[in-house]
Amino acid sequence: MQVLVRDNNVEQALRVLKKKMQREGVFREMKARRAYEKPSERKIRQRAEAVRRAHKLARKRAQKEGLLPPSNRKAPLARRPTSGAERTGEGWAKP
C-alpha cells in the first residue's frame, strides 16, 4: 500500500492511508487476530458472513429489479470547505 505526501501535508496522507486500510479490512483483521479463534468458531463466523453477503446481494438485486423499494439511507453530506476564506461565504461564520 502506498500513499503520496503532497506539500509535506502528513496529516492528509495519514487520513488517506487510514481510509485505504479501512477499505482493505486491515483494522478488522488486526482486531480478529488479537485473540485465538477456534477453527469451529471461524467456520461458523465465515458461514454467517457468507449468508449476510448473499442476503445483501439478493436485496440489492430485488431493489434494482423494482421488487423492493430503494433503501432509506440518506445521501452522504457534502464536503465542507477547508480553507478559512471559503468558510466566510454562504452562511459560514469565522472560527
Q: Are 21 and 13 in contact (CB under 8 A)?
A: no
Residue 91 pLDDT? 57
- Residue showing cell 492511508: 17
Share of the chain above pLDDT 70, in %: 78
Mean pLDDT of all residues in 62-83: 77
Say yes or no: 43 and 17 in one domain.
no
Say yes or no: 24 and 1 in one domain.
yes
Residue 32 has what DSSP assignment? Answer: H
Residue 70 pLDDT? 83
Evaluate whether residue 91 is within a structural domain.
no
- The total domain count for the chain is 2
Evaluate whether residue 74 is within a structural domain.
no
Q: Which range of residues forms the domain containing residue 57?
A: 38-68
Q: Distance between CA atoms of 66 and 12, rounded to whole angstroms? A: 41
Residue 87 pLDDT? 53
Q: Distance between CA atoms of 93 and 16, rounded to whole angstroms? A: 28
pLDDT per residue over 32-69, tens digit each? Answer: 999 999 999 999 999 999 999 999 999 999 999 988 88
Q: How many CB atoms lie within 10 A of CB 2?
A: 5
Say yes or no: 57 and 27 in one domain.
no
